[in-house]
Amino acid sequence: MAKLEMPDDYYAQTPDANVRATEAVMNTIKTADLLFDRIGRLLRPLNVSAAGGLVLGILRDHGVMSPSELGERLIVSRATVTGLLDSLERRGFVTRSPNLDDRRSLVVEITPQGLVVLQQLRTLIHHHEQTWMKFLTDAELGVYIETLHRIQDSVAVATEDVD
């Protein structure tokens, strides 16, 4: 696979750029795209999307919650959550029911069928995660994760300044 590298004259063309930062961002995006594509292909036989798998995992790990709470955890719009839940509900993986504390709202719960699919999904994904990351030692993975967290924090702060 071709690596994303900036041409030698990139800095001359764009003197205000930090070539390494540009390369890092481009490669991060490419890596995320590759992972999303691979995960999507792996999950297709289970009839669930990567985002749907995240919803099932959140519900399994954190219990019943409102669609808006799910949206906050996923950092997606209300419309996106609704679409995900519609799809998961049609497949029998989640149920929506009235909130007993506030009948104007709904709560979402993972079903037994959703738990089965989630376990299959997690087993499949965890196997591939190990394969994808096997070239890194545990120490290197720790540094990589910490670096990603720092970048995420930096991007979040920079985004707040723009909004």
For the chain, list the domains and their CATH numbers. 13-162 (1.10.10.10)
pLDDT band at 77 (very low <50, low <70, confident <90, very high): confident
Number of H helices, E strands in the chain: 7, 2
Give the other-Cβ count within 10 Å of 82's Cβ. Answer: 13
Judge whether residue 118 has pLDDT over 80: yes
pTM of this structure: 0.76
- Give the per-residue pLDDT at 62: 96
Mean pLDDT along residues 24-36: 92
Give the other-Cβ count within 10 Å of 66's Cβ. Answer: 16
